[in-house]
Amino acid sequence: MTYFNHLPFARPGWEIAQGAGPVLATAVHAGHLTDPDLEDRFQLSSEGRRREEDPMTGIWASVGDHSFRCFVSRFQVDLNRAREKAVYMTPDDAWGLDVWADPPDERRKEAILKEWDAYYALMAKWIEHLIAQHGTVVLLDIHSYNHRRDGAFSAPGPQEDNPDIDLGVTTTDHARFGRLVDIIEEEVGREEAAGRKLDVRRNVRYPDGGHWPEWVYANYGENVATVTLEYKKFYMDEWTGAAFLPVVEDLRQGLTRAVTSLKRELSR
């Protein structure tokens, strides 16, 4: 990393990698770490929190020319929520889950939110720098989702509602960047994983997107093609946390090929 050495935004729970090229990949829910003073205040177990995080997404983010990986749990601060909702305070903020036995007070909450502030300050600088360099930038916002909500031994949710990869493209200017979206869809779907062809569709699971891609679109939508990739957790056991590493690698290769094709298209 070179460009950000002099900037005061980097945090201990982040990994920032800068290369050369127009593709930035982020994994804002990859982490599981929490501050030591908060650990005993959680009502929700470590396993319960991990189930709602996005394991392995940091591996896929590494395929970008530039990447950001957050190792801090979304249950401490959610970088994909608006600031006022970035610290889950009630079950309504966290899918009905009872997160805290002893919630942080306002002073501690504001201290936690400094990480949120630093993230968006960093990204404003980073994206503006990439636009100045390349004109058009692609943001890959990488996540994963659960599909066996009924228990450890439950059947997967129906395939029609749970594509293997769901591309969230509500925060993309399709008139300008439609071809880039097509390339991602074609390339990630070309790779087989778990011994089968992948089901890749658009805007199935989360048609409204999250705050992070919405913020990018609102501020840089003319220059940044933002695509959210939601990987169904068929690459792991979402209840035990065990990853199926050959499948993780298959998915990484598919995304690597997509990045190569995106860069070829943008260089024309």
Question: What's the chain look like in SS3?
Answer: CCCCCCCCCCCCCEEEECCCCCEEEEECCCECECCHHHHCCECCCHHHHHHHCCCCHHHHHCCCCEEEEECEECCCCCCCCCHHHCCCCCHHHCCCCCCECCCCCHHHHHHHHHHHHHHHHHHHHHHHHHHHHHCCEEEEEEEEECCCCCCCCCCCCCHHHCCCEEEECCCCCHHHHHHHHHHHHHHHHHCCECCECCCEEECCCCCCCCHHHHHHHHHHCCCEEEEEEEEEHHHECCCCCCECHHHHHHHHHHHHHHHHHHHHHHCC
173 is a domain residue: yes
CATH number for 146: 3.40.630.40
Q: How much is the pLDDT for 212?
A: 98
8 is a domain residue: no
The domain of 159 spans 14-266
Q: How much is the pLDDT for 191?
A: 85
In the chain, the number of structural domains is 1
74 is a domain residue: yes
Please state, in angstroms and rounded to a whole number, the distance separating the CA atoms of residues 97 and 15: 28
Please state, in angstroms and rounded to a whole number, the distance separating the CA atoms of residues 136 and 222: 8
260 closest CA partner among 209, 188, 199: 188
pLDDT per position in the chain (268 positions), as tens? 444 554 445 567 999 999 999 999 999 999 999 999 999 999 999 999 999 999 999 999 999 999 999 999 999 999 999 999 999 999 999 999 999 999 999 999 999 999 999 999 999 999 999 999 999 999 999 999 999 998 999 999 999 999 999 999 998 999 999 999 999 999 999 989 989 999 999 999 987 789 999 999 999 999 999 999 999 999 999 999 999 999 999 999 999 999 999 999 999 8
121-137 pLDDT per residue, tens: 999 999 999 999 999 99
Please state, in angstroms and rounded to a whole number, the distance separating the CA atoms of residues 216 and 232: 24
147 is a domain residue: yes
Q: How much is the pLDDT for 6?
A: 46
198 is a domain residue: yes
5 is a domain residue: no
57 is a domain residue: yes
CA 211 to chain centre: 11
2 is a domain residue: no
